[in-house]
Structure 1
Amino acid sequence: MQKLMVLLKHSQLFCTYSYPFNSICSNVINVGTYRQLSAAKFHTSSVIWKRRKTGEEKKVNRILEYPKVKGEVVEVWNNITAEELAKVLKKDFNYIRDIFLDEIKSPKTVISDLKYLQQGLRRSGRRMKIIANPSNNKEQIIVDKDVFPRPPASKSELKSRPPVVTVMGHVDHGKTTLLDALRHSSVVEQEFGGITQHIGAFSVTLDSGAKITFLDTPGHAAFSAMRARGAFVTDIVVLVVAADDGVMEQTLESIRMAREAKVPILVAINKIDSPKADVGRTEQMLVEAGIQIEKLGGDVQAIPISALKKQNLNLLTEALVLQAELLEVGADPSGPVEAVVVESRLDSNKGKLCTCIVQRGILTKGNILVAGTAFCKVRNLHDAEGKVMKEVFPGYPVEIEGWKDLPAPGELVLQVETEKRARDVVKFRQDKLDAEKLEEDAVMIAEKRAHHEKEYYERLKLKRSLGRYKLKNDGPRKPEIPKDDDPTPALNVILKSDVDGTLEAVLNALDTYDQDGCKMDLVHYGVGSVSETDVELAQIFKGIIYAFNVNCNPNIMDLAENAGVQIKFYNVIYKLVDDVKEEINKRLPEKEVEEVVGEATVLQQFEVNQGKKKNPVAGCRCVKGTLRKSAMYKVIRNNSIIHIGQLSSMRHLKDEVDTIKTNTECGLQLLDKTITFEPGDSIICYQIKMERQTTMWDPGF
C-alpha cells in the first residue's frame, strides 16, 4: 500500500475505492499511473473518477486494493486465533491487529473466514498454507508413529498359562542348585565359580504335571538391575535364604524389589543339612525383615529344604502350584504378541539373540517385533535347551533369532504389521531419544554459558572499578595449548561381554570407581567377541581388553600380540574386578611412609661452647629401638611436634657415634641450633620409605 500511495501522489483524477472491511479512502490518480498499476496485476473493484475542470464523472469497475505478493509462506489452520497467528508470524498482537485494520479486538478472537485470513496475511507480505491444527493432531501423530500395548484383556478372554516364578536371594544361598534339583539338570556345573552370570529363563514340568516358568536371577550385588527386571515380569517370587547364613544384604534387596513389584513371596529356607543351620534363627530374621511367615502368625509360606540333597522339594512345588491357583494367572492368547526381554546376547553363528517371556498373543516364525529401538523379523524360535519351537504361548520363555539390533533387557516387545511399520516406530523412538538428549545438552550449555557470563561481568566490574589501573594479564589471552601428558595415571579399559545383561552388571561394578590417585576410562564396550577394531582402540589408548565369557579369534590374538595389547579373559565378575584393582595399583605412584626406627626421652639440656656461641644439646636416653645419626628426627612436647629435622652431632660420652642402642644415654644436637629442649621431651628417630599404594575402591563385593 505504501508503494500505491506514492504512485497516487501527483494524480489528476479523484479515485474513491472501498475495502471489503467497509473502510473508505480517497486518493488522486492519473490515467497513465492507473494503466501502469493495472498492468501490475493488482486486485481491483469499482472506482468513480472525475476531471477537476469539467467535473465530468466516469465509473471504472476496477479498483486497486492490494498486490499479489510472493513472500514467505506461513502455515495456518482453520479457526486459528489471533494469538496463535501472532506466534506463527513471530510478532506481537498489535501487529496482528494492524494487518487486519483494527478489526481484531482480542487475542482470543477466532479467525474462521479463510479469505479474511488470506487478505490480512497479504497485507503483511506473506502467503498462507492450510494445515491441520497441530494441537489437535499432536497426540494422533504419536499414536500413528509409535506402537503401544493393547488395553488389558477382559477376564472372559483370559486362558490359563504357566506362572512365572523368579528365584531370588543372596549370593551362594543355593538358588541355582534349587532349580537344578527341580528340573533334574546340572546348571551349577556349567556356571563359573558357582555364580549365575546372567538370567536363565526356562520352563519346568513338575512331577505333578504342572508347568512353571522359572527365572534364575543372579544373587551377586553387581546384578541388582537384572534382579529388578526379573521381579517385574514375575507372578511369584521364591526367596531362597540359607539356614546357616540367615538374612543377608542381597536378601533384603530382593524383598524390597518384590514388594515394589507387588508380587507374592514364598520363602525357601535352604541348606537345612548344614551343620551350622539354624532354621528358628532364620525365621526370626525374616520376621525382623518384614516377612511374616505362617509359623509365626503371618501369611507367607516358609518351607525348610535342602536343594543339594533334594529334601522337601515336593512341599515347595506343592506350595508353588497352590499359590499359582490362588492367583488365577491367565493371559490372552489372541491378537498381536506382547512379551518382555529377559536377556540379549550376540552369537557368532546365529547373530543377535534375545530371551523373552511371552505375555500375550502367540509368537510364531515370521512375526515382526519391536523392542525399544530394535526390531526383528523372527527367523527362528528356540527353547532353553536349544530345540526349535514352532509357536510360543503366553507364560513360556523363548530365544528369538533375527534381531537387527540387540534389545535391552527389560524392554517391552510388541508385534507390528510390517517391516516398514517397525522401521517407522524405531525411527520415531530414536528421534525422540535424540530430542531428549538435545534438551539435556541445551540445559548444560545454558548453565556453562551463565557461568562464563558471570565470570566475565565480575571481571568487567573489577576492571571498571580500577579506573586507569589495568588488571594484570588483561591483554589478549594466548590460546591454551592442551597438555599432552596428564600427570595423573590412567587405566583405559575396553570391555566385551557375552550378553547384554552381564555387560550391564560389569559396567555397573566399574562405575562405582571414584578414586583420585588413578583415573579409569572406559574407552569402548559391547556385546560379542573381541574384534580388530577393539585391538586398534586398545593400541591407540594404551588400554587393556577384558573379554568376559567370550572367545577370541586366533588371528585377533596374533594381531594383539604384535601390537603389544593385553587381552584378559574372565568368566567370574569379582575376578575381573580384582584384576582391574591390580592394574590400578600398578599405576599408582609410590608414597612416602615414615618408619619409626627409635625413640629417646630428654633427661636434661646441656649447653656446649662452639666458637663464641653456646648451643643446646639434649641429654637423652634411648627408650625404644635404635637412634641413627643419618635419620630424621621429630621433637615432641606435650603431644605436639615442635621441630622436624636432622642431627649435627650424636655423642656417647665423649665419642662421636653413628648409632645408639636401647637403654643407652647420649647427647643429641640438632642442625637447627635455635631449638631448646625440656626434660620429658620425646625425640622420635624415623626414616622415609617409598611404599606401593593400593586402591581403596570397593565395588560392593
Structure 2
Amino acid sequence: MFSTIIRYQFRRNLGIPNQCRTLFTTDVFSKRRKTAEEKKSPKIIEYSPKKSANKTKTFGTVDIWRNITVRELANACDKSLDDVQEVMLYVKGADDIEPSARLEDVKIIREIVQKCGLKSKIVAAPEKEEIEIKDRDVVPRPPASPENLRPRPPVVTVMGHVDHGKTTLLDSLRGADVAAGEAGGITQHIGAFTVQLSNGESVTFLDTPGHAAFSAMRARGANITDIVVLVVAAEDGVMAQTREVIKLAQETNVPIIVALNKIDKPEADIENSKRELLQMGLNLEEYGGDVQVIPISALKGTNLDLLAESVSTQATLMGLQSEYVGPVEGVVVESQTHSKRGKLSTAIVTRGTLRKGSILVSGLAHAKVRALFDHNGQPVEEATPGTPVEILGWRELPMAGDLILEVESDRKASSVLRYRQAESQKMKAEENIEHIKAKEEEHLEKYLAAREARRLAGKFKMRNKGPRQKEISSDDGSPRVNVIIKGDVHGSVEAILDVLETYDRNDKCKLDVVHYGVGDITEGDIELAKTFNAIIYAFSVNVPMKGTKTVSIRPCNIIYRLIDDLKEEISSKLQPVEVEEVLGEANVLQQFMINDGRKQVAVAGSRCVSGTLKKKEKFKLIRNGEVIHIGELESMRHLKNEVDSIKNGVECGLRFKEAYVHPEQGDILACFTTHMEAQKTDWDPGF
C-alpha cells in the first residue's frame, strides 16, 4: 500500500497525463480482481478501423468542356449529382439543374467547379461511345431451313354473308350445335376449333362473323388463314358481304373454295349463283379455272364429305409445313376476361410448340403461360403449329390480331414492352405534331392581332377583363349521350367501337365513349357511369345486382339491337322541330282590284286544286317555284259569302292581310299548318 502511494506521487511530479496513470497503478490484487470480474461478465471486443496505408485522396484538376451536362460535370468532379445541383443554386446563370441540361458558358462551369473546392482545365469534348440499347424489340425468326419443316394442319376460315349458313355448316362438320348458343343465330365473334375429318386429317376452322359491323374481324381472319371457304346461299346469290370476302381473299392471295349452301330450298338457283361468282372474277373449275364450287346443304348434311375432301386436297396441293421447335410464334384470334379464370386469349400457333411456363409477348401485353385449353375447354400440355389453343396467364389483355412471340425470360419481356411503349408514344407524338403546330399558329395569330389592337389604342400592357375563363368548358349546353361499353371478348368491343366511329361528330347531339373494356361490369364502371351520367351497354356480360337502380345498365347480345337502342337514346336528346303540313293548294286564275275604303287591295281569284283551304291557317304565295310571301288571310269568299274553308275543285277569292301583296295569274297559294315533332337522328351505321 505504501509503495503504491509512492509510485502515484512520483508520477504526479513527473507530469504524466491522467489518461496514462492507469498503466502504472496496477498491482497483483487489482489484476486478480479484474480477472475474476472479467470471468463473470461476458467479454466485449471492440473493433477499431484499421488505418489505411494510403493517404487521403486528393483531387487534382478537373477537365471541363463547353456543352458539358450536369451529370458529366458531377462525374468529372467525383461528386454526387445532388451536391453539384445544390452548388449550382448559388451560381448566377446556372438556371437549369436537370441532369441532362447542358452548360454552354465556360465561366459558369469554372465557377461551379471552384465552389466545389476544385480547379478546372478546359479540354476538348470527349468522343461519345455508342450506347448499347437495352430495351429492344423482338421480331419473328428468319424462315426455317427445309430439313426442320414438318406438315401441319391447314387453317380454314369460313366466310360469307349474314344468315347464309356459315355456323350451321361448321356445326355439321364437328357435330355440335353452336348456332343455338349464338344470339339470334348470328356469330358475334370469331371462334376457332379443330375438326377431325373422316380421312383422319385435322383441320383448324375459324368461324368469322357475317355481320357488316365485324368487317375488321373478318379481315383478321383472312390474314391468318390458309384457305377460305366462301359460303353462298343458292337462293340469294352474291350479296354485299360476299363481294367484300372475295375482294379480301384476292388481295391476300388466299385460295377460295365456294360452298353453295341451301340447295335443298325450292327457290335455290345454282346456275345464277355461279354466273354472279364469275362476274366477281372467280375462275370456276367447270369454266376452266381453279376455284371449286361444292353444292351443299349444311342443314341436311348433303355433300359435306365432298367439301371436306376438297379442303383436304387443296391443303395437300399447298404443301403446308411449319417448324415444331424453337421459340413459339402465333396470332391472337380473340381475347376476353373471364370472371373466374382471369384474362384469356384464343390463339393459333404458327411456329414452334407452346407449353406451360412459356413467356409470351403480344403487342403491349405479356404472359407466363399457366394453363392451355383446347376448343372444348379441356386442358392440354402443348399446342403445335396450326392448332387453336386458349392461353391462361396474361398480365394484360392482348389485342385480337396481334402477333405472339416467345422470349427467354420475364426480364426480356419487360424490356420489349418498355421499348414498344416508348415507340408507341413517339408515334403518337408525331401524329399529333401537325395538330399542335396548327394550334400554336392559331394562338400566335390571335396574340399578334390583340397586341396590334392594343398598340393602336395606346395600351401597351395587357390586362385581363373580368375573371379568367376556363381553358376547357365541361359542358357547352348541347345535347350529349355518354356511354360505357363492356363486352365479353375484345373482338366484340372492337366491332362496337368501329360502328360508333361512323357517328358524325358534328351532329346536333354529342356521342362520347367514356370507357370501354372486356369483362363483367365492375363497381368502378358503375361509379364512372354515375359521374358522367353514362349508359352502360353490357354486351354478353353479367350484370351486377348492386348499383342497377342508380345507373342505366342495358344488357344486349346482338350488335344491331345495341345500335338501335343507342339511336333511340340520341333521338330522345334532340330538341323537337317545327314541321309544316300542307293542307291544300290553289291556283291563282286572275287578279281583281277592289276598293276597301279609300285604298285598293288585290284579291286573288283562285281554284282549290288539292286538299282543303282553311282561313285560320297560314298561306304561302309561290311564284315560279319560289316563296315570295308567307302570311294570313284577311278574307276568304265563295261567290259573295265569307267562308271558313274551301274544298277541292271550288273557286274562291282570297285576300291577304298585307295590302302590298299582289297575287298574279299563275301563282300558287299553299295553305299549311305547323306542329312540333320529335327529331330522329340520321345516323346510318351501314347496316
TM range (shorter): 0.7 to 0.9
Choose from 483, 496, 502 the match for 1:512: 502
| Displacement after TM superposition at 1:261 (Å) | 2.4
Matches within 5 A, 1:615-654: 615-654=601-640
- What amino acid maps onto 2:373 in structure 1? H
Choose from 401, 412, 415 the match for 1:421: 412
Preserved CA contact (<8 Å) 1:73 1:127: no
* Distance of 1:166 and 1:317 partners within structure 2: 13
| Displacement after TM superposition at 1:548 (Å) | 0.3
Choose from 662, 670, 673 the match for 1:684: 670
Partner of 2:274: 283
Measured at CA, do residues 279 and 470 of structure 1 come closer, stay the same or move farther in structure 2, by a change above 3 Å? Answer: farther
Measured at CA, do residues 175 and 75 of structure 1 come closer, stay the same or move farther in structure 2, by a change above 3 Å? Answer: farther
| Displacement after TM superposition at 1:682 (Å) | 1.8
What secondary structure, in the 3-state scheme, does the structure 1 residue paired with 2:184 have?
coil
* Distance of 1:403 and 1:485 partners within structure 2: 39
- What amino acid maps onto 1:325 in structure 2? T
Measured at CA, do residues 615 and 280 of structure 1 come closer, stay the same or move farther in structure 2, by a change above 3 Å? Answer: same
Of stretches 323-332 and 687-696 in structure 1, the one that deviates more from structure 2 is 687-696
Partner of 1:502: 492
Partner of 1:240: 231
1:54-82 Cα distance to aligned partner (Å, 9 max, x none): xxxxxxxxxxxx87559746879xxxxxx
TM-score by length of 2: 0.80
| Displacement after TM superposition at 1:619 (Å) | 2.8
Of stretches 430-439 and 174-183 in structure 1, the one that deviates more from structure 2 is 430-439
* Distance of 1:67 and 1:224 partners within structure 2: 66
Preserved CA contact (<8 Å) 1:42 1:68: no
* Distance of 2:459 and 2:663 partners within structure 1: 53
Preserved CA contact (<8 Å) 1:158 1:331: yes
| Displacement after TM superposition at 1:498 (Å) | 0.2
Measured at CA, do residues 663 and 267 of structure 1 come closer, stay the same or move farther in structure 2, by a change above 3 Å? Answer: closer
* Distance of 2:639 and 2:473 partners within structure 1: 59
Matches within 5 A, 1:118-267: 124=122, 132-134=129-131, 137=132, 141=133, 145-267=136-258
Work out whether 1:697 is the aligned partner of 2:687.
Answer: no
Measured at CA, do residues 75 and 147 of structure 1 come closer, stay the same or move farther in structure 2, by a change above 3 Å? Answer: farther
| Displacement after TM superposition at 1:315 (Å) | 1.1
Measured at CA, do residues 501 and 68 of structure 1 come closer, stay the same or move farther in structure 2, by a change above 3 Å? Answer: closer
1:546-601 Cα distance to aligned partner (Å, 9 max, x none): 1001111222xxx120x2x2111111111111111111121222222111112223
| Displacement after TM superposition at 1:636 (Å) | 1.8
Preserved CA contact (<8 Å) 1:72 1:127: no
Measured at CA, do residues 253 and 672 of structure 1 come closer, stay the same or move farther in structure 2, by a change above 3 Å? Answer: same
What secondary structure, in the 3-state scheme, does the structure 2 residue paired with 1:607 have?
strand
| Displacement after TM superposition at 1:441 (Å) | 3.2
Work out whether 1:493 is the aligned partner of 2:479.
Answer: no
* Distance of 2:285 and 2:186 partners within structure 1: 31
Partner of 1:49: none
Matches within 5 A, 1:329-340: 329-340=320-331
What secondary structure, in the 3-state scheme, does the structure 1 residue paired with 2:254 have?
coil
Measured at CA, do residues 443 and 599 of structure 1 come closer, stay the same or move farther in structure 2, by a change above 3 Å? Answer: closer
Measured at CA, do residues 657 and 163 of structure 1 come closer, stay the same or move farther in structure 2, by a change above 3 Å? Answer: same
Partner of 1:271: 262
Measured at CA, do residues 643 and 378 of structure 1 come closer, stay the same or move farther in structure 2, by a change above 3 Å? Answer: same
Choose from 565, 578, 591 the match for 1:605: 591
Work out whether 1:570 is the aligned partner of 2:556.
Answer: yes
| Displacement after TM superposition at 1:123 (Å) | 5.6
Partner of 1:80: none
* Distance of 1:569 and 1:68 partners within structure 2: 71
Of stretches 654-663 and 389-398 in structure 1, the one that deviates more from structure 2 is 654-663
Preserved CA contact (<8 Å) 1:72 1:125: no
Preserved CA contact (<8 Å) 1:272 1:304: yes
* Distance of 1:383 and 1:409 partners within structure 2: 18
* Distance of 1:680 and 1:239 partners within structure 2: 62
1:79-103 Cα distance to aligned partner (Å, 9 max, x none): xxxxxxxxx99899xx99xxxxxxx
* Distance of 2:380 and 2:59 partners within structure 1: 75
Measured at CA, do residues 470 and 283 of structure 1 come closer, stay the same or move farther in structure 2, by a change above 3 Å? Answer: farther
* Distance of 2:258 and 2:351 partners within structure 1: 29
| Displacement after TM superposition at 1:462 (Å) | 7.6
What secondary structure, in the 3-state scheme, does the structure 2 residue paired with 1:145 have?
coil
Measured at CA, do residues 432 and 690 of structure 1 come closer, stay the same or move farther in structure 2, by a change above 3 Å? Answer: same
TM-score by length of 1: 0.78
Matches within 5 A, 1:290-689: 290-457=281-448, 476=464, 478=466, 479-480=468-469, 486-514=476-504, 516-555=507-546, 559-561=547-549, 563=550, 565-689=551-675
Measured at CA, do residues 443 and 621 of structure 1 come closer, stay the same or move farther in structure 2, by a change above 3 Å? Answer: closer
- What amino acid maps onto 2:208 in structure 1? T
What secondary structure, in the 3-state scheme, does the structure 2 residue paired with 1:193 have?
helix
Preserved CA contact (<8 Å) 1:239 1:265: yes
Measured at CA, do residues 176 and 67 of structure 1 come closer, stay the same or move farther in structure 2, by a change above 3 Å? Answer: closer
Preserved CA contact (<8 Å) 1:74 1:126: no
Preserved CA contact (<8 Å) 1:369 1:414: yes
* Distance of 1:89 and 1:341 partners within structure 2: 44
- What amino acid maps onto 1:428 in structure 2? Y
Preserved CA contact (<8 Å) 2:63 2:122: no
Aligned residue pairs, count: 588
1:664-694 Cα distance to aligned partner (Å, 9 max, x none): 3333221211011223322111111222222
Preserved CA contact (<8 Å) 2:156 2:204: yes
Measured at CA, do residues 626 and 410 of structure 1 come closer, stay the same or move farther in structure 2, by a change above 3 Å? Answer: same
* Distance of 1:470 and 1:416 partners within structure 2: 66
Q: What RMSD, in angstroms, separates the aligned Cα atoms of the two structures?
A: 3.0
Preserved CA contact (<8 Å) 2:69 2:103: no
Measured at CA, do residues 123 and 448 of structure 1 come closer, stay the same or move farther in structure 2, by a change above 3 Å? Answer: farther
| Displacement after TM superposition at 1:230 (Å) | 1.0
* Distance of 1:653 and 1:335 partners within structure 2: 102
Measured at CA, do residues 75 and 338 of structure 1 come closer, stay the same or move farther in structure 2, by a change above 3 Å? Answer: farther
Measured at CA, do residues 589 and 397 of structure 1 come closer, stay the same or move farther in structure 2, by a change above 3 Å? Answer: same
Partner of 2:12: none
Partner of 1:30: none
Q: Percent identity?
A: 52
What secondary structure, in the 3-state scheme, does the structure 2 residue paired with 1:219 have?
coil
What secondary structure, in the 3-state scheme, does the structure 1 residue paired with 2:581 have?
strand
Preserved CA contact (<8 Å) 1:72 1:126: no
* Distance of 1:272 and 1:591 partners within structure 2: 51
Preserved CA contact (<8 Å) 1:73 1:126: no
What secondary structure, in the 3-state scheme, does the structure 2 residue paired with 1:410 have?
coil
Preserved CA contact (<8 Å) 2:63 2:121: no
